[in-house]
Structure 1
Amino acid sequence: MSLDGFTLRKKAILIALNSDTPDKSPKGYVDEPLLPLIVLINNHKDYVTTSSCSGRICTYLEGLDEEAQGAGADHHDEDEEDGVVRGYDENTSLAAVEAAKRAKGGQWLYVSHDPVVFPEHSIQDQRWIVDLLFGPEAHRVVLMEDSAHSDTRTLDMARSQLVYFKFEPMILHIESSTPAAAKTFLNHSLFSGYRNSGILPSVKRTMLAIRSTLKLDAPIAYIPSTARSASGTQSSASGSRDEAGKIHLMVSLTYLRVLIELSNDKFRMNVAQMGRFEKRLTEHLLEDESAGEKKKVGDQGEWEDKEARRERKRKEGLQKQEMAAMAKAEDDARKAAAAAEEEKETSLDHN
């Protein structure tokens, strides 16, 4: 691993952060609540932030890889329109289903980096929750009590295309100049409550992921599979098209409200944790760097490690103790000589 390589990468990252050009994130810029922490970290010579998120509430419609499903699914009508959700054979494992879903990107329906503000009429009319969480796809949503698929088996739901509600706390990816520096930062992170943090395996770079345990992730809706009807026979083409346009809630609106309230609480915990983290880094990490710059050098002018510095300090302490003992002994000897001389003079006076 080359320090020169780290220095060059850090320089390029800092130039990009200070420019007006949008970054690669969906927002195009760093989350404002993270700015003080990012500046603090990037001002340290051993670290540079590579990506970050201050925390967010979001809903995500997972993707589907239709080619991956084709091997296990029955033949479909040739006139099915694009976008119809394909079904899986009865013996398709859930692991294979999940792998197929991950193979193709999904759609973010809602993303907010701030707590949700409840409207005044939120208790009387909770339909606003659907409009909020499903965004442009809200018109496709069928409430749980209105769904004709309310008796659908749980296994069938798991094999369908799912919508997830998520709360994701702050996450930081940081490159470190050395493994030792990474371990130091990781210790401060763990002490600050970021228990899911760790050093990422990499041959070329030393990377850190700083994460907490405040995450919330729950499936809330699904798009029914239309390749088969409930009896196992193929559904009609028109029926498939109708079902393909619907997103069925598998939970109540009251439950969605609970998820939002929980996430708002986690937002507050997330912000407080970020504050404690910033305080610790300010008091310890930068202090460590300052102490490292001011520490004494060895006899040959080389920088000392902690063990060498501790040994030098021990020897210096012993030397000071010896010098103090010698000075005390000399002082005691002078006092004894003066006392003897005074006693001698007193004896002569009496004679």
Structure 2
Amino acid sequence: MSDGFTSRKLAILVALNSDTPDKSPKGYVDEPLLPLIVLINNHKDYVTTSSCSGRICTYLEGMNELQSEELYMQDMEAIESRVAQDNGDKDGGEDAQVAKGYEENTSLAAVEAAKRAKGGQWLYVSHDPVVFPSEQDTEDQQWIINTLFGSEAHRVVPMEDSSETRTLDMARSQLVYFKFEPMILHIEASTPAAAKTFLNHSLFSGYRNSGILPSAKRTMLAIRSTLKLDAPIAYIPSTSSTMPSSIPKIHLMVSVAYLRVLVELSNDKFQMNVAQMSRFEKRLAEYLNSDADLASKKMGDQGEWEDKDARRERKRKEGLLKKQQAAMRKAEAETRDAKVQEHSNEDPNTDAGSTAGIATSVQ
């Protein structure tokens, strides 16, 4: 275990036990994760660096409007220049149309990169399932817009009322995403061997998207499942950037009924997420708090880590070998004694002479 890991772990534990908010939007660890985090951090080979117990959220991605507008205009100029240089066909010809499509697709990638140059906005975040109203009819559907879009709900235009139908405009625009994100843990391990053992328990617990992260200085783990849900649900038209004095509208891409389906799916995934966390915690408790704990494991003959079963098998084989060696030593000793006795019987100065003396006395 390196001194660097030990000092980093100590600093993290001090921060977790302090009253100072952490760097997460909430500022503190999610309560459902506390038992699991305590379990992990109590082991000498692991420390949690970040975590989330799972959440339902809506997110408006960032947009550097000036930069994206400039990129858009540059791309449009490139398209016009490409068409003007065509072979003189009034409509630009087939080659020009292909070139135009290529330029438009390329500009989409450029705008996509540009609109992430500035931070986005969380419209809604919940670490618990969404609670539906007890009584709901068609007129009460506004509640789901108010819930998912929060303080920006007044800007939302339902899909049925929107005149914006151009797909290209949607792709170029700021998008609002509905997300369900399951539990995620980032863990630093003291050694690659310890990380591999923890990863195996994670994979067997259903966290199939988990892995060891490449790092030159640390051994990091990301523990993730496949329960994620991520879908665009609304957008702000790109033309809104030309009207800076007005508050741009947020146009729904889907119906309110579809938003309800997404929420119901996420609530179901929340239940699966909690059940998966429970199984994971139980498995880790059996591993971290048992005789198979890495802290109490003993080293094999070659210096490798061995679990409880491997150690038992090695001890059994060592016992059998000792018995065989003892039996061989006993057999060798008995063989030596027999040879000594046989040699003694053949010596004329000992047993033969005694026999002759006895014969003489009898006569």
Normalised-by-shorter TM-score class: 0.7 to 0.9
Q: Deviations over 1:287-330 (max 9, x none)?
A: 365475264887xxx97643995655422233246769999xxx
1:18-33 mapped onto 2 (5 Å cutoff): 18-33=17-32
Aligned residue for 1:226, secondary structure, equals: helix
Mapped to 2, the partners of 1:96 and 1:47 lie a distance apart of: 41
Mapped to 1, the partners of 2:110 and 2:291 lie a distance apart of: 49
Letter in 1 for 2:254: V
1:136 paired residue number: 151
Change over 3 Å in CA distance of 1:269–1:297 after alignment to 2: closer
Mapped to 2, the partners of 1:324 and 1:36 lie a distance apart of: 54
What's the CA shift for 1:269?
A: 0.2
1:26-175 mapped onto 2 (5 Å cutoff): 26-74=25-73, 90=104, 92-124=106-138, 125-149=140-164, 152-175=165-188
Q: Deviations over 1:62-111 (max 9, x none)?
A: 00123432432339xxxxxxxxxxxxx95653222221122211000000
1:12 paired residue number: 11
Mapped to 1, the partners of 2:195 and 2:297 lie a distance apart of: 21
Q: Deviations over 1:137-185 (max 9, x none)?
A: 0000011111121xx2222211111100000000000000011111110
Q: Does the Cα contact within 8 Å between 2:129 and 2:270 map onto a contact in 1?
A: yes
RMSD: 2.8
Q: Does the Cα contact within 8 Å between 2:287 and 2:293 map onto a contact in 1?
A: no
Mapped to 1, the partners of 2:149 and 2:10 lie a distance apart of: 40
Q: 1:202 aligns with which of 212, 215, 235?
A: 215
Change over 3 Å in CA distance of 1:71–1:18 after alignment to 2: same
Change over 3 Å in CA distance of 1:70–1:40 after alignment to 2: same
Q: 1:314 aligns with which of 290, 314, 317?
A: 317
Aligned residue for 2:14, secondary structure, equals: helix
Q: Does the Cα contact within 8 Å between 1:162 and 1:222 map onto a contact in 2?
A: yes
TM-score by length of 1: 0.77
2:286 paired residue number: 283
Letter in 2 for 1:23: D
Q: Deviations over 1:234-260 (max 9, x none)?
A: x7x5xx755x42101010110000000
2:205 paired residue number: 192
Q: Deviations over 1:31-67 (max 9, x none)?
A: 0000010000001110000000000000000001234
Q: Does the Cα contact within 8 Å between 2:146 and 2:153 map onto a contact in 1?
A: yes
1:179 aligns with 2:163: no
Greater per-residue helix proportion:
2
Change over 3 Å in CA distance of 1:318–1:39 after alignment to 2: same
Letter in 2 for 1:277: F
Aligned residue for 1:72, secondary structure, equals: helix
Q: Does the Cα contact within 8 Å between 2:63 and 2:115 map onto a contact in 1?
A: yes
Change over 3 Å in CA distance of 1:145–1:188 after alignment to 2: same
Letter in 2 for 1:9: R
Equivalenced residue count is 298
Change over 3 Å in CA distance of 1:277–1:294 after alignment to 2: closer
What's the CA shift for 1:121?
A: 3.0
Larger Rg: 2
TM-score by length of 2: 0.75
Q: Does the Cα contact within 8 Å between 2:71 and 2:110 map onto a contact in 1?
A: no
Q: Does the Cα contact within 8 Å between 2:184 and 2:222 map onto a contact in 1?
A: yes
Q: Does the Cα contact within 8 Å between 1:144 and 1:250 map onto a contact in 2?
A: yes
Q: Deviations over 1:100-147 (max 9, x none)?
A: 122211000000000001012333411100000000000000111111
What's the CA shift for 1:20?
A: 1.3
